Structure 1
Amino acid sequence: MPSLLIHTLLLCYSSLSRCSESKEYTLDVFAPHEVKFHSLDYRNVLHWKQHANSTNDQQYFVQWKVYGEKQWTNAKECHGISRLLCDLSKETSDPREWYYARVHAAHSGTQSPWVLSARFNPKWETSVSPPTMKLHVTEKGIVVRLKPPRSPHRRPNGSWISVSRLQRMSFTIHLMQSDVEEETFEMEGCAKQLLISDLSPGTTYCLTAESRLHLLDRRSTRSPRACITTL
């Protein structure tokens, strides 16, 4: 009789163990993966990938917190969403702080485990866009006006804050004639314009510009080519 009882208990334990493993597998099978921040011009967007076994009606929930804090905060704009990204620019706007984010999936009343991002700091990890360039020709040469890329943040009066206000940056201007690069010019991010003089009259020059963040020496792609003919 005792051996029968032990055998019965072992069968029950084995059954419960299989059920537990099956439930855990079911939860993990639709959990998001590759949860990571992508930042451009301080627009900090959390991205993740959908599991291959996920369903189209699956929903995602995002939370974030400052590094060192215990409490997680719900991302209000990313509660029960179907898209695979969440803009956390407002929540992660302090360049002095490090942040974490996490996301889980829900389907038919079942939730996957939370999946955590790597630690993120916008100042150290953001990339930068090329500046907006405008050209004007005078008798002295070509006047180049550059406008730094803007961040998603605003001042109290509603005006946009440029990336150059958030960290030190500069620009490199490339001067070309007949598709041959002739000269490059450096311009500080706080400068308004640059005069390129000593050019051949009646000649068409083309210019591109790129931004540079001095922290970690990050550079943007080049801006679209703009051409102008000297007087």
Structure 2
Amino acid sequence: MGRRRRWGQAEVAAAAMVTAAGGSWALQPLLLLLSLCGLCLADQGNLPKPKNVQVHVMNTNFTLKWDWDGKCNVKDCNVTFSTYHLVKKKHFRVWQKLSGCIDVAATMCDFSSAKLDFLRKYKLHVKAERGEDSSAWSNTVVFVPDEIAEIGPPSDVQVEAIDGLIRINILAPGSTDKTPMWEASDFSYLVELRKNGSNEQKQIKLASNNERIDKLSPNTTYCLRVKAQLNAGEKEGSFSPEYCVHTESADANVLPRPENVRIHALNTHFVLKWDWDEAYGENVTFLVECCRAYDKKYMASNCWHAVPSCKEVTTSECDLSSEIWFEGTYEFRVRAISGTEERAWSKEITCNPSKDTEIGPPSKVEINLINDSIEIKISHPGEDTNKSMKDIQGFYDLSYRIFVWKNTSDKWEKCFEDEHTLYTLPVSELNPETYCLKVQAFSQMSNKSGHFSAIKCITTEAGNNPVVLVVAVFFLQHCCLQFYSCFLLRCL
């Protein structure tokens, strides 16, 4: 009735204005339009518009909140709210209803069901409604989900105390969502650990969701909570609830875990070493397991497998060379075995072959005096084992530094760098003299310098003729394949 009555008043007012204008029917449409516009403004003024509209995103949960200054509360006023967002069509944009936020009888709504693109920019606004009346639109809110999203606490944290350490398994924030905002592999984690009854906390960074915390006191209750970090800490999540576990008492009769596990890598030779107390007897053997870091992080939680060459090892080291390729990253662990007793695994150690390996000295350096020149033959590091470093990805640019000095001096006289097969260095008016040299391989691609070769010396013949020092780098397996472009660098 109220709506019909106002329309009637508007029409009467319009007719009166036309009559006052001398019955000019030409003005009637304009005057009627003005009256209707006045009616629209009057209708929008009946309900206050929503204010302070805010979007809150946590993981993939989207919530919209706003304030409303009505003379009564929303329920008593029988007011609802509707939200529209701007959608781009082929040649134009149109405001469409936002799923989950239409005819809402509260000053908030959940639009997680809208299935928004996390990287797209969105615009939305809200209006109040009561029957056929509606308020003016709120101010437009602009947001990109990925930019404003907060990281929630981990979806689940499983904590277990075993063998004097804490094993922790973390389910990434939002991983139970149908379409997660982030991949589980994008996260690292921060653990706050304390002894029960103490406020002193220790922060521990975890690189993956399945880690262990060691070096703990026996027979002690520890409490911890976890939060996720994105992009190396650029964005941090909320902490999980606190979890408490009790470590077991130390048992002198139980085999300890191998400690100080480390890898020595030279060229393509990789050896795993660890510390062990020989007082535990001669019947102890060791088992080494390997897991590719990619499999552990992206594919399988149980990615560990025994290294064939490291089963029933009786020493505190084993050769991993057959297990490692230069592509990828690996993790290794070792445990002690005595009869049927198997001790807990050591702390895992990560190996990135390209970064961790050292370039060894050249496999062979030969020097010979031929006529008026010194000839030097160099074999690539690792070539004596048929695994030349020149064949390894990241070391294809392998080159050499050659240092030359008189045997009577402690300072080198000449230093040159070259990857070419022939290099000459003029040396004029030499007296009979003994010259020494050493060679070092280096790779600019991997930013590594290798070990020096053994020092070798040779004595030149007397004479006034210039002696030419010739450096011939024989590529052995590669000389028939291709020649590399040369470069001459000033020695540092």
Same fold (TM over 0.5): yes
1:174 aligns with 403
Shift of 1:67: 0.8
- The DSSP-based 3-state class of the residue aligned with 1:83 is coil
| Cα distance change of structure 1 residues 206 and 225 upon mapping to structure 2, 3 Å threshold | same
| Cα distance change of structure 1 residues 21 and 35 upon mapping to structure 2, 3 Å threshold | same
* Residue identity opposite 2:449 in structure 1: R
2:454 aligns with 224
Query: What's the C-alpha RMSD, in Å, of the aligned pairs?
Result: 2.5
Answering whether residue 331 of structure 2 is matched by residue 104 of structure 1, we say no
| Cα distance change of structure 1 residues 90 and 108 upon mapping to structure 2, 3 Å threshold | closer
- The DSSP-based 3-state class of the residue aligned with 1:181 is coil
Shift of 1:175: 0.4
- Structure 1 Cα separation of the partners of residues 256 and 449 of structure 2: 37
Structure-2-length-normalised TM-score: 0.38
- The DSSP-based 3-state class of the residue aligned with 1:119 is strand
The one of 302, 305, 310 equivalent to 1:78 is 310
Contact 1:124 1:215 (8 Å CA) reproduced = no
Shift of 1:230: 2.3
- Structure 2 Cα separation of the partners of residues 128 and 85 of structure 1: 21
Shift of 1:136: 2.1
- Structure 2 Cα separation of the partners of residues 207 and 91 of structure 1: 37
Structure-1-length-normalised TM-score: 0.77
Contact 1:143 1:194 (8 Å CA) reproduced = no
Alignment of 1:39-188 (within 5 A): 39-51=265-277, 54-69=280-295, 70=300, 71-93=303-325, 95-131=326-362, 132-150=364-382, 160-166=386-392, 167=395, 168-177=397-406, 178-179=408-409, 180-188=411-419
Contact 1:176 1:206 (8 Å CA) reproduced = yes
Shift of 1:53: 5.4
**Higher RCO (CA 8 Å, separation ≥ 6 residues):** 1
- The DSSP-based 3-state class of the residue aligned with 1:81 is coil
Contact 1:145 1:194 (8 Å CA) reproduced = no
- The DSSP-based 3-state class of the residue aligned with 1:172 is strand
- Structure 2 Cα separation of the partners of residues 23 and 201 of structure 1: 74
Shift of 1:121: 1.3
- The DSSP-based 3-state class of the residue aligned with 1:82 is coil
| Cα distance change of structure 1 residues 215 and 57 upon mapping to structure 2, 3 Å threshold | farther
**Number of positions where the alignment pairs a residue of Structure 1 with one of Structure 2:** 203
- The DSSP-based 3-state class of the residue aligned with 1:186 is strand
| Cα distance change of structure 1 residues 35 and 138 upon mapping to structure 2, 3 Å threshold | same
| Cα distance change of structure 1 residues 201 and 136 upon mapping to structure 2, 3 Å threshold | farther
Answering whether residue 251 of structure 2 is matched by residue 21 of structure 1, we say no
Q: Which runs of 5+ in 2 are unaligned?
A: 1-218, 220-246, 462-492
Answering whether residue 260 of structure 2 is matched by residue 34 of structure 1, we say yes
Shift of 1:112: 1.0
| Cα distance change of structure 1 residues 79 and 142 upon mapping to structure 2, 3 Å threshold | same
Task: From the CA coordinates, give the structure whose radius of gyration is larger.
Answer: 2
Contact 1:35 1:48 (8 Å CA) reproduced = yes
Shift of 1:151: 6.2
| Cα distance change of structure 1 residues 161 and 216 upon mapping to structure 2, 3 Å threshold | closer
Contact 1:187 1:194 (8 Å CA) reproduced = yes
* Residue identity opposite 2:341 in structure 1: T
Contact 1:32 1:49 (8 Å CA) reproduced = yes
1:11 aligns with none
Q: Percent identity?
A: 22
